[in-house]
Amino acid sequence: MAKTGTDLVKRGMAEMQKGGVIMDVVNAEQAKIAEEAGAVAVMALERVPSDIRAAGGVARMADPTITEEVLNAVSIPVMAKARIGHIVEARVLEAMGVDYIDESEVLTPADEEYHLNKSEFTVPFVCGSRDLGEAARRIGEGASMLRTKGEPGTGNIVEAVRHMRKVQSQVRKLISMDLDEVMTFAKDLGAPYDVLLQIREAGKLPVVNFAAGGVATPADAALMMQLGADGVFVGSGIFKSDNPAKFAKAIVEATTHYQDYKLIAELSKGLGAPMKGIDIASLSPENRMQERGW
């Protein structure tokens, strides 16, 4: 009998996105540019993270008109963001036929204690994580895909690098660890023990882990791939650049050929000014989106 919404089906969907670039878009026109450039999926938003940051106030799920417009514009998968812990926003997106939901710290959290119980949904979820503890908690709740949190809307890759390296090194540590040590490691990380055991046995995370938050150049995308990312989310970078179509194509190619440095040099020529960017140290803790999530 056919079964929908199984782990295999939800995680498998993310496997198909590997080696690809998922782009933030705010309307049908941008979605088409992204698809034409070779994006593997688009994230439909009302505002890109840098504009959310600039606007301040409460950031919520996008107006369904925008999501619907994007769903109708492209044949590639469409993702959308729901607030952390906002069960109804997530159910609304699922009902609209969105292909993947990002339970995202870019939006203002609706719940400061609990994340969604994502296992109960048919639609798969992607969540951010900064370390293995956070990654394992999200997997325990039913996330089918992970991404670094980075620091969204800053155009600064430093936090995404930190989060990718952290998760990778903790996974390596776990794999080489004596079984006797795993429970204390789980306690220290605040990670569910059974998820750590699965990771230890498989020798890798059970879901793909993409880079996100601060990717501003083709070289940034290639760097994240080299650090072990399975693919790349690009938020504000593309449609805040001078020539989005060219920029989008360059990011896609740099992600595919992340070790072809001559090609990346060619791709990086004449892209115009990238987004200006923000030094993370200049952001006060309450303005750091990565601190959201528990």
Partner 1 sequence: MKIGVLALQGAVQEHARIVEAVGAEAILVKRVEQLAELDGLILPGGESTAMRRLIDRYDFLEPLKAFGEAGKPIFGTCAGMILLAKRINNQETSHLGLMDVTVERNAFGRQVDSFETELEIKGVAEDFPAVFIRAPYIIEAGSGVEVLSEDTGRIVAARDGHYLATAFHPELTADTRLMGYFVEMVKDAAVKT
Active site positions, annotated:
81
**3-state DSSP assignment of residue 287:** helix
Taking the least distance from each CB to partner 1, the nearer of 68 and 131 is: 68
Strands 78-83 and 41-44: parallel
Q: If binding is defined by CB under 8 A, does position 6 make contact with partner 1? A: yes
Q: If binding is defined by CB under 8 A, does position 41 make contact with partner 1? A: yes
Which residue's entry shows tokens 């803790």? Answer: 285
DSSP assigned state of 40? S
Q: Are 109 and 58 in contact (CB under 8 A)?
A: no
* Distance from C-alpha of 220 to C-alpha of 160, rounded to nearest angstrom: 10
**3-state DSSP assignment of residue 243:** coil
Q: If binding is defined by CB under 8 A, does position 159 make contact with partner 1? A: no
Q: Are 165 and 207 in contact (CB under 8 A)?
A: no
* 147 assigned ligand-binding residue: no
* 24 assigned ligand-binding residue: yes
Of positions 55, 63, 65, 97, contacts partner 1 by CB under 8 A = 97
Element (H, E) at 49: helix 49-55
Q: If binding is defined by CB under 8 A, does position 8 make contact with partner 1? A: yes
Long-range contacts for 3-8 (Cβ within 8 Å, ≥24 apart)? 4/122, 5/121, 5/122, 5/123, 7/144
Taking the least distance from each CB to partner 1, the nearer of 263 and 280 is: 263
Question: Mask: binding to partner 1, 9-38, rule CB under 8 A, as x and -?
Answer: x--xx-xxxxxx--------------xxxx
Give the dihedral sign, CA 141/146/151/154: negative
* Distance from C-alpha of 7 to C-alpha of 183, rounded to nearest angstrom: 25
Of positions 65, 72, 117, 122, contacts partner 1 by CB under 8 A = 122
- The residues in 203-262 that bind partner 1, with binding defined as CB under 8 A, are 249, 252-253, 256-257
Q: Are 204 and 146 in contact (CB under 8 A)?
A: no
Q: How far is CA 145 from CA 8, 53, 123, in A?
A: 12, 25, 12
| Smallest gap from residue 7 Cβ to partner 1 (A) | 10
- The residues in 256-275 that bind partner 1, with binding defined as CB under 8 A, are 256-257
Q: If binding is defined by CB under 8 A, does position 202 make contact with partner 1? A: no
Taking the least distance from each CB to partner 1, the nearer of 154 and 255 is: 255
Question: Mask: binding to partner 1, 44-83, rule CB under 8 A, as x and -?
Answer: -------------------------------xxx------
| Size, binding site for partner 1 by CB under 8 A | 39
Question: Mask: binding to partner 1, 123-152, rule CB under 8 A, as x and -?
Answer: xx----------------------------
Of positions 47, 80, 100, 223, contacts partner 1 by CB under 8 A = 100
Looking at 85-220, which runs of residues are DSSP E strands? 100-104, 125-129, 145-148, 208-210
Q: Are 214 and 24 in contact (CB under 8 A)?
A: no
Residues in touch with partner 1 (CB under 8 A) = 1-6, 8-9, 12-13, 15-20, 35-41, 75-77, 94, 97-100, 122-124, 249, 252-253, 256-257
Indicate the annotated binding residues for D-ribose 5-phosphate.
24, 153, 214, 235-236
